Chain A
Amino acid sequence: MIKHFFKKLGFSQAPFAGGIQPDMRKETEHSPIEVCPLPPLLIMPIKQHIGQACSPLVAVGDHVLRGQKIAKAEGYVSVPIHAPTSGQVIKIEDYAIPHPSGMGLTSIFIEPDGLDERDETLKPIEDWQHTDVSALREQVRMCGIAGLGGAAFPTFIKLVQDQRNPIETVILNGIECEPFLTNDHRLMVEHSQKIVLGMQIIMHMVGANQVIIAIEDNKADAIECMKKAVNDDDMGLDIQVLSLPTRYPQGSEKQLIESITGKQVPMGKLPMHVGVLCQNIGTTHAIYEAVILGYPLTERVVTISGDAVPQQGNMLVRLGTSMRFIYAQRGLTDFDGLQILHGGPMMGERLRHPDIPVIKSSTGLLALSQDFFREAHPEEEPCIRCGHCSEACPISLTPNLLADHCRNEQLEKAADYHLFDCIECGACSYVCPSHIPLVHYFRFGKGQAAQVRREQGFAKDSRERSESRDSRIQREKDEKAAKRRKVRATHTPTPAEPNQGKE
């Protein structure tokens, strides 16, 4: 109904359900990407993606080159990690990573030698049009590419030709709906040619012909640049550069697919099940570098913004660079009373200190003054049943009821209200007039439910072990008893003998 209404109004697209329009604060959209200098120390955590952690391949004292593999992927959902520059491995130990817990993870410390020599093991695939798809896929994997939009899901997994779920449409996600962040925006303006080339490689890999480059209408210059760049396409692709009305969280994969195609990706399913592949702009650029230049992922564009940063802007940063070093490049050295965020203000993590390295999922570094932050996060008040949260929810949940169940640890009820479908976009928390930290409750509930599941699994394993032990003991006892009977039977006199004695 609403979708028809929008179509009547002249919008070609039907928007996804819910959503909000936050103050975008894209203050860095006109600042070109600057190259961040090499820091005195690079710290590479062994897990920078969703999935299994890598295992280190180097030892303390080893000399490494830029792009050399320093940790290998373990399991399927994993990608290797490469040295961001040439230098020496000085230690391997636990170090803080961008994670809300503030806990550490095994990290490889590299002291740069300043030469920045490249490792030439990985060769570019110049003739990619005639290269086998699986070889390209392996190249993307070996280059350590994970989704650079923030989730860091290993990209090679999505780049697959599946007979049962053929991909018809590829969507290049240039939405960047989080406030403050402009790194994809700048990439589109400055490197549109490379993105188009990366896009052609993706199209070749998944065997699709239709591509939609989706950009929100607050990035007019990016739309212009991409339109110009796609004219050079020589593959005869069906390309459409699409301007969408600005709305958060439109950049979320499933919401974007709904906005563009009108199809909803069912819960528990992937975009490929509706014949769509979504790729982030930064990731597409990384695929270009991996295939055309043979460069593994060792750097990314990061937006440094927030009201406490004197010179806001975008920087091309080596992975493993300390956030403190990056902030210092932008004139921020005193963190007293500031809130530091990793990622955007809606979905990013609050960090306790800036001595944390940038990883593959670092889209932005924000520093907000206490006043700004408190304005956004006052004390929670009771729910007044206004229903704004349900209207804002992009997946049509009832956040107020869900939060009650999570708060009271009624986890089964929360699961009935589809807690696990929540994408934690923060739209409900944003609109709540009572300032209830709804998403925080959902995260709490999800964590508790995961713990219960884990404990149940452990109890099940323990029961099995205990039962098998009991049955083993019983079997051994029986065997012993049988043996004893056998021994007695051969050594004790036969029943006939006593009779003979009697006689």
Chain B
Amino acid sequence: MLEQLMYAIASLGGFALLAGLILAVSSKIFHIEGDPVSDKIDALLPQTQCGQCGFPGCRPYANAVASQAADVNHCVPGGERTMLAIADVMGVEPKSLDQEEAIPMVAFVREDECIGCTLCIKACPVDAIVGAPKQYHTVIADHCTGCVLCLEPCPVDCIDMIAKPELLEHWSWPLPDTTRAQTGLERRESHQHD
């Protein structure tokens, strides 16, 4: 009787040890740096680093969404498409955006008014402003994400946001002007805003 009990304990205990060993080893071998869901979301975000979502950058917002601390609809520059993609990754219902999608803008320094204080250069999250102390600063339009973080620190208010110039190479065909295409578009949009 005791002997049979011992067999059971020994075999079950043995299995448990073996399983524990496999788990321990595989957790080392298949270890993943960082959070894959957060990485996926970060890849979908437009990387403007603008902070309009209430987080200090795209990565922190991605982490917050991945840990379900934030909703999927806070990225303003990303717009509808980004929100849908994030909702898809998270497996949640799409939500309407916080704010209406704005047209893409870039910052522009009125150089004759710039005093060369370098404050905007320090504020720019993507190093898109060039200049040196007591020298005019200017915005590299191709690198500017339109995050508006440079407007506030400027002591002389010499930075404007201007609409990003439309390029011929970037023009794309609109949907056909048929009733069917247009009603489809309206239906999709109304679904997304529900």
Show the binding face of A for B, using Cβ within 8 Å. Answer: 99-101, 103, 105, 379-382, 407-409, 437, 440-441, 443-444, 446-448, 450-452, 454-455, 458-463, 465-466, 468-469
Known: A380-B181, A462-B47. 7 other contacts (CB 8 A): A380-B178, A408-B184, A447-B173, A462-B48, A462-B49, A463-B58, A466-B58
B78 to chain A, nearest CB (A): 9
Chain B residues with CB under 8 A of A105: 168
**Closest chain B residue to A99, Cβ basis:** B168
Q: Does B45 contact A (CB under 8 A)?
A: yes
B112 to chain A, nearest CB (A): 25
Near A by CB (< 8 A), chain B positions 150-184 give: 166, 168, 170-176, 178-181, 184
Q: Does B128 contact A (CB under 8 A)?
A: yes
Provide a sorted-by-A list of 28 A–B residue pairs whose CB atoms are within 8 angstroms.
A103-B166, A103-B168, A379-B179, A380-B176, A380-B179, A380-B180, A380-B181, A407-B184, A440-B173, A440-B176, A444-B176, A447-B171, A447-B172, A448-B172, A450-B172, A454-B170, A458-B47, A461-B143, A462-B46, A462-B47, A462-B48, A462-B143, A462-B145, A465-B127, A465-B128, A465-B143, A466-B126, A468-B127
B35 to chain A, nearest CB (A): 16
**Closest chain B residue to A448, Cβ basis:** B172
Knowing A408-B184, A460-B47 touch, does A465 contact B170 (C-beta < 8 A)? no
Knowing A103-B171, A440-B173, A444-B172 touch, does A466 contact B49 (C-beta < 8 A)? yes
Pair B168/A463 contact, Cβ less than 8 Å: no
Q: Does B57 contact A (CB under 8 A)?
A: yes
**Closest chain B residue to A102, Cβ basis:** B171
Q: Does B188 contact A (CB under 8 A)?
A: yes
Chain A residues with CB under 8 A of B128: 465
**Closest chain B residue to A381, Cβ basis:** B180
A209 to chain B, nearest CB (A): 40
Pair A379/B178 contact, Cβ less than 8 Å: yes
Q: From B48, B126, B172, B188, give the contact of A469 (CB < 8 A).
A: B126
Chain A residues with CB under 8 A of B116: none
Chain B residues with CB under 8 A of A462: 46-49, 126, 143, 145
Chain B residues with CB under 8 A of A448: 172
Q: Most B CB atoms within 10 A — which of A103, A459, A460?
A: A459
Q: How far is the CA of A450 from the CA of B167 in the complex (A)?
A: 13
Pair A382/B125 contact, Cβ less than 8 Å: no
Chain A residues with CB under 8 A of B188: 408-409
Near A by CB (< 8 A), chain B positions 31-73 give: 42, 45-49, 57-58
B185 to chain A, nearest CB (A): 8
The total of chain B residues at the interface (CB under 8 A) is: 30
Q: Most B CB atoms within 10 A — which of A101, A381, A441, A466?
A: A466
Chain A residues with CB under 8 A of B143: 461-462, 465
Pair A459/B180 contact, Cβ less than 8 Å: no
Q: From A380, A381, A409, A466, give the contact of B47 (CB < 8 A).
A: A466
Q: Most B CB atoms within 10 A — which of A441, A454, A462, A463?
A: A462
B189 to chain A, nearest CB (A): 11
Chain A residues with CB under 8 A of B176: 380, 437, 440-441, 444
Chain B residues with CB under 8 A of A461: 143
A108 to chain B, nearest CB (A): 17
B192 to chain A, nearest CB (A): 11
**Closest chain A residue to B170, Cβ basis:** A454
Chain B residues with CB under 8 A of A380: 176, 178-181
**Closest chain B residue to A459, Cβ basis:** B47
Chain A residues with CB under 8 A of B178: 379-380, 437
Pair B47/A444 contact, Cβ less than 8 Å: no
B75 to chain A, nearest CB (A): 11
Chain B residues with CB under 8 A of A463: 42, 47, 58
B126 to chain A, nearest CB (A): 4
Knowing A380-B179, A469-B126 touch, does A101 contact B46 (C-beta < 8 A)? no
**Closest chain B residue to A378, Cβ basis:** B178
Q: How far is the CA of A459 from the CA of B77 in the complex (A)?
A: 11
**Closest chain A residue to B48, Cβ basis:** A462
Q: Most A CB atoms within 10 A — which of B42, B125, B166, B173?
A: B173
Chain B residues with CB under 8 A of A408: 184, 188
Q: How far is the CA of A447 from the CA of B166 in the complex (A)?
A: 14
Pair A101/B168 contact, Cβ less than 8 Å: yes
Q: How far is the CA of A454 from the CA of B170 in the complex (A)?
A: 9
Pair B46/A407 contact, Cβ less than 8 Å: no
B34 to chain A, nearest CB (A): 14
A355 to chain B, nearest CB (A): 17
**Closest chain A residue to B45, Cβ basis:** A459
**Closest chain A residue to B178, Cβ basis:** A380
**Closest chain B residue to A444, Cβ basis:** B173
Knowing A101-B168, A408-B188, A459-B45 touch, does A382 contact B126 (C-beta < 8 A)? no
Pair A407/B57 contact, Cβ less than 8 Å: no
Q: How far is the CA of A443 from the CA of B175 in the complex (A)?
A: 9
**Closest chain B residue to A97, Cβ basis:** B168
Q: From A407, A450, A466, give the contact of B175 (CB < 8 A).
A: A407
Q: How far is the CA of A409 from the CA of B143 in the complex (A)?
A: 28
Q: How far is the CA of A469 from the CA of B128 in the complex (A)?
A: 11
Q: From B48, B126, B145, B173, give the contact of A100 (CB < 8 A).
A: B173
Q: How far is the CA of A458 from the CA of B181 in the complex (A)?
A: 30
Chain B residues with CB under 8 A of A100: 173
**Closest chain B residue to A409, Cβ basis:** B188
Pair B47/A101 contact, Cβ less than 8 Å: no
**Closest chain B residue to A455, Cβ basis:** B46
B8 to chain A, nearest CB (A): 54
B47 to chain A, nearest CB (A): 4
